[in-house]
Amino acid sequence: MAVAPMRITFCCTDTKAQPWLEGLRAALPNATIEQWTAGANLADYAVVWAPPQAFFDEQVALKGIFNIGAGVDALMGLRLPATAAVVRLDDAGMSVQMAEYVCHAVIRHFREFDAYEADVSAGKWSYRKPRLRSDFPVGVMGLGVLGERVARALAQFDFPTLGWSRSPKTVDGVRCFSGQAEFADFLAMTRVLVCLLPLTPETQDILRRDTLAQLLPGAYVINVARGGHLVDDDLLALIASGHVAGATLDVFRVEPLPAAHPFWHHPKITITPHTSARTLREESIAQIARKIRALHEGEPVTGLAGLVDLKKGY
Ligand code: NDP
Ligand code: OXD
Q: How far apart are CA 99 and CA 161, in angstroms?
A: 13
**Which atom of ligand 2 is closest in space to residue 278's alpha carbon?**
4
CB 149 within 8 A of CB 103: no
Burial class (CB in 10 A: 0-12, 13-18, 19+), 210: exposed
With 0-12 CB in 10 A as exposed, 13-18 as middle and 19+ as buried, what is 146? buried
CA–CA–CA angle 245, 250, 251 (5° rounding): 110
Q: Which residues contact 299 (CB under 8 A, 6 or more apart)?
A: none
> What does the pLDDT read at residue 175?
98
Please indicate whether residue 51, judged by its CB atom, sits closer than 6 Å to ligand 2. Answer: no
Contact 271, 250 (CB under 8 A): yes
φ and ψ of 18, to 5 deg = -55, -50
- Any idea which residues carry the catalytic annotation? 226, 274
Which ligand places an atom closest to the C-alpha of 73? Answer: 1
Which of 49, 94, 149, 229 should be mutated for ligand 2, with most atoms under 8 A from CB?
Answer: 94
- Ligand 1 centroid to Cα of residue 143, in Å, is 7
pTM of the model: 0.97
Q: Is 71 near ligand 2, meaning CB less than 6 Å away?
A: yes
Residues of the chain with pLDDT under 70: 1-3
Distant-in-sequence, close-in-space partners of 178: CB < 8 Å, separation ≥ 6: 164, 165, 166, 167, 168, 169
Q: Which atom of ligand 2 is nearest to the CA of 277?
A: 4
226 CA: nearest ligand 2 atom: 6
Segment (H or E) for 56: helix 53-58
Q: Please say whether the beta carbons of 214 and 188 come within 8 A.
A: yes
Q: Which CATH architecture has domain 7-92+279-303?
A: 3-Layer(aba) Sandwich (3.40)
pLDDT of residue 2: 63
CA of 313 to the centre of ligand 2 (A): 15
* CATH 3.40.50.720 residue window(s) in the chain: 7-92+279-303, 95-271
Q: Which ligand is located closest to the Cα atom of residue 206?
A: 1
Cβ of 306 closer than 6 Å to ligand 2, yes or no, is no
Amino acid letter, residue 121: S
Q: How many CB atoms lie within 10 A of CB 17?
A: 14
The CB density around residue 234, as the number of other CB atoms within 10 Å, is 18
Cα of 70 from ligand 2 centre, angstroms: 5
The architecture of the domain spanning 95-271 is 3-Layer(aba) Sandwich (3.40)
Which DSSP helix (H) or strand (E) runs through 33? strand 31-35
The whole-number pLDDT of residue 4 equals 77
Closest of 93, 54, 98, 53 to residue 77, by C-alpha? 53
